[in-house]
Structure 1
């Protein structure tokens, strides 16, 4: 499969990592931990290896779940 690189521990200039911006008790950490431990094989099989690289489905699922938790909906 052809996905865009997904590195949650990617370093940036300021701050040094996203962990510096997110408190240890923030709900996004629960979403992250739960979704890191579920099997998403059916979701991965839905992606085609052809064409431009996609964002990783696990990352997109995390964004969607957290957005719904925050009552942020996309059209």
Structure 2
């Protein structure tokens, strides 16, 4: 005896596919959350003073610091690998 086949809703034309926030995809106890909490408390004013202004806009120093710290924590040291992770890995995003 076979039951009725039921599929999850599927609409390839829906307005959004992913959650509204990437943070929803990161488990509560994940180490990247600790990195975020710690780096959010770091005074980045000395780094900000190094920026002269002009040219193309830059990524915020706090974002870059989080990327570096989490990268080092997960044994990713190469800037090219960090870039790749930031494009593909939710935890780096």
Query: TM-score, normalized by length of structure 1?
Result: 0.78
Among 13, 20, 26, the residue aligned to 1:16: 20
**Which structure: larger Rg?**
2
Q: Does 1:43 align with 2:40?
A: no
Which structure has more relative contact order (CA 8 Å, sep 6+)? It is 1
Q: Distance in 2 between matches of 1:58 and 1:13?
A: 28
Count of equivalent residues? 64
Q: Which residue of 1 aligns with 2:35?
A: 31
RMSD over aligned Cα atoms: 1.4
1:74 Cα deviation from its structure 2 partner: 0.9
Q: Distance in 2 between matches of 1:35 and 1:24?
A: 17
Q: Which runs of 4+ in 1 moved over 3 A?
A: none
Gaps of 5+ in 2: 1-15, 80-93
Gaps of 5+ in 1: 1-11
